Structure 1
Amino acid sequence: MGDQTPCEKLCLGLKKVKHYMAMVSLQFGYAGMYIITMVSLKHGMSHYILAVYRHVVATLVIAPFAFVLERKIRPKLTLSIFLRIMVLGFLEPVLDQNLYYLGMKYTSATFSSATTNALPAITFLMALCFRLETVNFKKLHSAAKAIGTVITVTGAMVMTLYKGPVIDFIRSHGAAHHGTSNESGNQHLLTGTLMLLGSCCAWAGFFILQSFTLKKYPAELSLTALICVMGVVEGAAVSLVMERDMGAWKIGFDSRLLAAAYSGVVCSGIAYYVQGVVIRERGPVFVTSFSPLCMITTAALGSLVLAEQIHLGSIIGAVLIVWGLYTVVWGKSKERINSSKLQMTNEKTGTQELPIKDSSTKLSSSINFANSIQGPDDGMSKIPPKS
């Protein structure tokens, strides 16, 4: 083989890191959504209606692409797949997002994004239960997944439970104002934390069920559009029950519209599709292992935009979370390399044994054909004697 050109080397390098780039980009997208959503909620928007509008936008954006690009490869929508899509539409668009928005209102954008760091651990445990992941502590790369998950959870617990002194990087004039809001927020801290953990469980269940559904319905764009449609239908039903004031559905050219449009396009439409592609190739644990990066980005943006304070515990927790994240990613990458080597070895072994298997099959077929001509076997040899 000849030497590769610089363009070919660049394409090969991008192909190797495309999953990492996609997931890191999504975390920045989620961080922006947390800040914009927090602003809209503070301006009085209902989180139930925000979830509905978010998926209306996502449906309008994704559905045309799904209809055109996957019209030839879209599988038949069976009853079992439709029921799975209904559950998916309830788990993430309705249950996860409403619990998360409620928890965010009771706490803060930084705290809520920090609590979602439990997502990789919950997803990892669910994946173990459904045999989507395996752990062999005799192998370092396999044990690294479990160790990295424990480190990530430890960092999240430190960030959640330990505050420490305030580290004022940018502003000091917002401390007095934010202190009063923290005092009132601490009254609902437990309720908000439980709601955020509940949203993590729903989100993890969404990833697990999505990985199973993609095996029977391998059309990521179409699946994304159908999930968004079911999210609109189920979310609207919940909103009509919880929000009796029809005036709450009014929306103008303000932070409410921005929150619905941004979260719908980036965090529902694009995110569902990208996560589906990466889940099918790398698994749900790989996808959720990048969520701690979102917390760090949200903390920085929260300090700049919302004047939220950053404590020493948040910095220590962030260091542990990043350490755990890279430990999990390292274990997953080594596992993928080893599995690729094993697959190549099996393929080579199979090509060597194939001619032997074919020849034996042909010999067996010839014997069966000769016996069928001679008639049924009565237990005696039917071969005529030589004359």
Structure 2
Amino acid sequence: MEEVLMVSGLVGTQIVFALYLVFLNKVLNLGVHPLFLVVFSNLTGSLFLLPFAVVLERKKWPRTLTPTLGIQLASQAIGGVTVFQTLTLLGVEKTSPAIAAAMPNLAPGFTFIIAACLRLEKVEMRCKFTWTKIIGTILCLTGVIAMSFLQSPTTSSKLTYKVSLGDNNETEWIIGCGYLFISVVIISCITVLQAVTMQTFRAPFSLCFVTFSVGAIFTAITQIIVEGKMEIGSTAISLTGVIGIVLLGGAVTGVCVTFQTWCVKQKGPVLVSMFSPIQTVFSAVFAALILRQLISIGSTTGIALMFAGLYMFLWAKKKESYQVPDDIAKVTVNDVEKPLLS
């Protein structure tokens, strides 16, 4: 019964995320400022996570906030909230929800590369699974290139294809894909940093709460410095309506993040990652039905390549986790390598 609940919940979570991306695209097109959305959605998410953090993890909180832990938490807040989410929203504005949902499928490959460079992930070049992961990552990158440069908004459909800001050309599309690509690189770095932080701060709900709340504060400060005040943007929606929308979105996102965190704890990150392409498919369907946005065959091919690369990577990672290293007897307590993605 738990297996059925978990699978159904993961599918439902991805569908909700897909609908939320389409919803965000519509809200941004109406003129709501991306930074305003980041601030209030993360404040809402942090308030939702606070009870879980206090009730379930209070005994796991570190007794003192060391300078190292403080820097790690601040870096995750700035990178994972202020920079990552702002770039993602800018990317959604200039492309489409389907592309925005597809791009995060690059994250496992990038995380593997970064972790390998930092010696947090073992890389054995004589192992077939290592090469499978490398080939999968290359396929994902090829898919991104195809998705970015083979899109032709003006010819993809007889329907009106409206990209945010009213600029319906390939330059805007490529810039938007660039924003999304950079955001994935950043979140991959943050994922590695989270793995390091969790070695001393073993409280995922509390970590998310701190990241969301501090990130919202940093984002608010950024908007005040850049624009002189907290600005909702020039929108046709009333302030009350926008706040209601953001609060609802933050609450829904908080529920989904909490459920995914539970699934990762129960079954590991590989199973959760396998459901991410569902978000891309439903984002494309919802965007076509609600926003009348279609993507070209070229970009669809790129998404297919990305899916193939993702599943190759996840398959290799799963198989690799079953293997017992030949040199396991040689591992000592002084070994500093940690299995990040297992």
Report the TM-score range of the alignment, normalised by the length of the smaller protein: 0.7 to 0.9
Provide the C-alpha distance between the structure 2 equivalents of 1:276 and 1:296, rounded to a whole number of angstroms: 24
Partner of 1:228: 212
Q: Which runs of 5+ in 1 are unaligned?
A: 1-9, 347-387
TM-score (normalised: structure 2): 0.80
Provide the C-alpha distance between the structure 2 equivalents of 1:306 and 1:234, rounded to a whole number of angstroms: 32
Choose from 68, 81, 84 the match for 1:93. 81
Provide the C-alpha distance between the structure 2 equivalents of 1:225 and 1:236, rounded to a whole number of angstroms: 17
Choose from 179, 183, 188 the match for 2:172. 188
Provide the C-alpha distance between the structure 2 equivalents of 1:277 and 1:227, rounded to a whole number of angstroms: 20
Choose from 244, 253, 264 the match for 1:278. 264
The 1:67–1:154 alpha-carbon spacing in structure 2 relative to 1, beyond 3 Å, is same
- Confirm or deny that 1:156 pairs with 2:144: yes
- Confirm or deny that 1:241 pairs with 2:228: no
| C-alpha deviation, 1:271, in angstroms | 2.2
The 1:114–1:68 alpha-carbon spacing in structure 2 relative to 1, beyond 3 Å, is closer
Choose from 295, 304, 315 the match for 1:330. 315
- Confirm or deny that 1:298 pairs with 2:283: yes
| Cα offsets for 1:280-319 (capped at 9, x unmatched) | 9856x88667644433332222111111013212332232
The 1:22–1:81 alpha-carbon spacing in structure 2 relative to 1, beyond 3 Å, is farther
TM-score (normalised: structure 1): 0.71
Any residues of structure 2 matched to 1:29-108 within 5 Å, and which? 29-79=16-66, 80-108=68-96
| Cα offsets for 1:164-192 (capped at 9, x unmatched) | 79676xxx5xx146499885343433433
| Cα offsets for 1:179-220 (capped at 9, x unmatched) | 998853434334333322221222111111111111110011
Identity %: 24
Provide the C-alpha distance between the structure 2 equivalents of 1:201 and 1:289, rounded to a whole number of angstroms: 19
RMSD: 3.5
Provide the C-alpha distance between the structure 2 equivalents of 1:128 and 1:265, rounded to a whole number of angstroms: 35
Aligned residue pair count:
323
The 1:160–1:188 alpha-carbon spacing in structure 2 relative to 1, beyond 3 Å, is closer
Structure 1 or 2, whichever has the larger Rg, is 1
Quick check: 1:224–1:272 contact (8 Å CA) kept in 2?
Answer: no
Quick check: 1:114–1:159 contact (8 Å CA) kept in 2?
Answer: no
Provide the C-alpha distance between the structure 1 equivalents of 2:266 and 2:64, rounded to a whole number of angstroms: 19
Provide the C-alpha distance between the structure 2 equivalents of 1:94 and 1:177, rounded to a whole number of angstroms: 29
Partner of 2:126: 138
| C-alpha deviation, 1:77, in angstroms | 4.1
| Cα offsets for 1:268-287 (capped at 9, x unmatched) | 5642773597389856x886
